[in-house]
Amino acid sequence: MRRSTKKHFLLLAALTGASLAMPEPAMTALLDMGPVITQELDSTPPKHGFPLWYRDTNRVPLELCLSKAASANGPMCLTAEPNPGAPFSFPDNLGDEVFWWVADASFDIPQQGALDRAGRAILVQAIEGAFSTGDVAPGAQVSFARIRIRIDTPYAGEYVVTTPFKQFTFTVAADALEDGINFTEDLGIAEGGIFSGALGGSIGPFLYCTNAPIVVGTEKFIGDPNVTCAVQGSTFPSAQNPSNFFRVQGPNGFDMQTDQFTVMGKIHEGVIPTPLTVDKASYIRNTAGVQVNVFATTQALSNQTNQGAAFPANFALTGAPSALQVTGTGIPTKEMATNSPADGKFFSASGIFAAPEILPATVTVTNTADTPVTSKEVPLVDEVTVSQATYRPLSKTLTIAAASSDAVANPALQAFIPGMTDPVGTFTNGNLAISFPVLDNSVIPAKTYGIPPASITVKSAAGGETTVPVTVAEVTDLPPTGSVVINGGAATTGSATVTLTLSASDDSGSVAQMSFSKDGVYFFPYETYATTRQVSLVNGPGANTIYVRFRDAAGNVSPIYSDNIILDTTPPAGTVVINGGATYATSITAALALSATDDNGTVTGMRFSKDGVYFFPFETYATSRQVTLDGGDGVKTIYARYQDAAGNISPIVSDTIILDTVAPTGTIVINGGATTTNTTAATLTLSAADANGVTHMQFSKDNITWTPFEPYATTRNVTLLPGEGFKTMYVRYRDTAGNVSVPYGAVIILDLP
């Protein structure tokens, strides 16, 4: 048949010879299906384009029965390939009907009533694959859930047919007895490549032989289609009261049934991962670092099963909840959070971390509770935020404001409208204005878009994108609105020439002109609207105000907007004091005490020099500062200048200190240089020298304990330590700067009479 671009639900309920009352609904259906095998021509084993498996609510997965395995009774998979002796291949050696599951039952009906011979009741149940073309054809694959009933009816009247999945009621008229009951229900989607329809059929959970699983070689099956067996698996009308039989009840006490079925189904033994969808994986990047945000959805429970249990309980989940984790090159591993284990919705935000040298192109979300783990790698993209998407009918302009979450790379942003493959514009500084009509030259013939779209999509070069609705501005004749900012919002200025930053908008989308005033009364003539303008302040030092009005193309004038600034042309005044005003310094590290004031504002900066010519860069003003004096003793000067918020710079101020790092030198002589004395009374002769003068001296008789410093003198009477023998006197000198010399000593022998 000719394929349609639409999906059609296949509901085939063919009935001849009888009328059908509304059947009892099936109690349950199938759970899910496995991945669709990508079809590949001339492939062996066949890459057939069908789902790998269907799974029931017992979580038993049955794969497409394409096995050459055989029991002693015959093949375990009943297939209809053209050349049974050759391997399966697609499309040449594959049957036009293939099966994931089959469970048939039948019984003979003895001759009675209108039957002139023995009759038969047949039940066919299957999850089947076929081709919408009839013959095997690539792209025409379909699947469906089938229930087929064939009954030779001996009596006219009502028949109740009970199957393992649902119950049917048929009415057979007297003139239709020869036709009997001939009913088929096929539920699926009659569109090649769409296989979800079978999940909504009447089949499920699968019936299986009571001796399942049946092992043939390395493969497992739920039945041997060559022999009949008793079955389990029905949940109709309830799991406690199942219908593991095929029963027909009719007029005149007719009541026959069988519990013997021929069952076919090959168990899929591969690992089935838990479904995992990464809804979004995005990042934020700025100067502080990077943050990765991930949203994901999965099954509430992981795929851990009771491997040691008997069939089919060995496929049941253990109840271990899913646990998701985010990893990526150069990013921290993050466990994802969820509302509750049953929710299935997960989220994680890494928090800001140091940006890696190269941002990873992907992140991996892993269900660590799965056995083995289930992982999905997805692109890591930026977030795109659209703060405005407004269409203005008067100007036929769509204005869009958007930003990327990547403030470091600032990836390019482009806007797209539905129906066009090419972008309608690239953003500049986060803004884009699109004028309609828009011409699309990418198609032949070219297409003109004269009206705005209902939504707009903004895509980033870093992979992020977002779609937002377009709002429409009210069609009014209102005046423009706007603002004016002087010198970027500065409170003060040191120059009478300032720069205005201007912003204005209008419902028509077009602000045409602006006019300025310096007193709010007299306005200069209108000029063309611009976003910047230089003006001169006229009120002199102190507070100054600039006023502005905007006018649109229709002549509507805005309210007056203004901004203030203080004109400050007076520099700060200040002082600098080294080491608290000391005359001398003995270390090259000196402490500055700083003080500065400004008449019209705040002192913000200071800078220093050691020669009064070269000044270091300005730094933040403080009342104290340590500096290093230039090496070499002598007079040292520190120069300072201060700056206020308006940029005015003070005159140079300075302070001077004498750097003296060299201690005095000297000598000491006892009793004019005599070698002996017969008395403890002695006279010292003292001599010391220093570049800045010697001011004090102190003495010791053991070079440990010293007398307090006393004014320097060239002689001094002392008393030697008692007892005969060698006696030593020590002296240390201190200069004007406070430097203390090394000890100097002299020796004399005390020889008492």
* Domains of the chain and CATH, by start: 9-267 (no CATH), 276-381 (2.60.40), 383-472 (2.60.40), 481-567 (2.60.40.10), 573-659 (2.60.40.10), 665-750 (2.60.40.10)
Cα distance between residue 368 and residue 374, in whole Å: 7
Q: Tell me if 129 sits within 8 A of 10, measured CB to CB.
A: no
Q: How many CA atoms lie within 13 A of 728 on its CB side?
A: 9
3-state helix, strand, coil in the chain (%, to 5): 5, 50, 50
Residue 538 confidence (pLDDT): 80
List the beta strands (DSSP E) in 74-136: 74-75, 98-109, 119-131
Report which of 303, 277, 301, 270 is spatially closest to residue 370, judged by C-alpha positions: 303
CA angle, residues 32, 38, 41, in degrees to nearest 5: 140
- The SS3 assignment for 424 reads coil
Largest distance between two CA atoms of the chain: 171
Which residues of the chain carry a pLDDT beneath 70? 1-28, 476, 508-509, 539, 601
> What does DSSP say about strands 561-567 and 492-493: parallel, antiparallel, or unpaired?
parallel
User: Which residues, 6+ apart, have CB-to-CB distance to 112 below 8 Å?
Assistant: 154
Q: Tell me if 150 sits within 8 A of 159, measured CB to CB.
A: no
Residue 8 confidence (pLDDT): 33
Cα distance between residue 734 and residue 690, in whole Å: 9
Encode pLDDT of 433-491 as tens digits.
999 999 999 999 999 999 999 999 999 999 999 999 999 987 767 788 999 999 999 98
| Buried-exposed string 655-679: b where 16+ CB fall within 10 A, e elsewhere | bebbbbeebbebebbbbeeeeebee
Cα distance between residue 55 and residue 233, in whole Å: 13
pTM value surpassing 0.85: no
Residue 344 confidence (pLDDT): 92
Cα distance between residue 223 and residue 233, in whole Å: 13
Residue 223 confidence (pLDDT): 98
Residue 566 confidence (pLDDT): 87
DSSP state of 646: T
**φ and ψ at 424, to 5 degrees?**
-90, -5
Report which of 493, 487, 499 is spatially closest to residue 645, judged by C-alpha positions: 493
Residue 556 confidence (pLDDT): 86
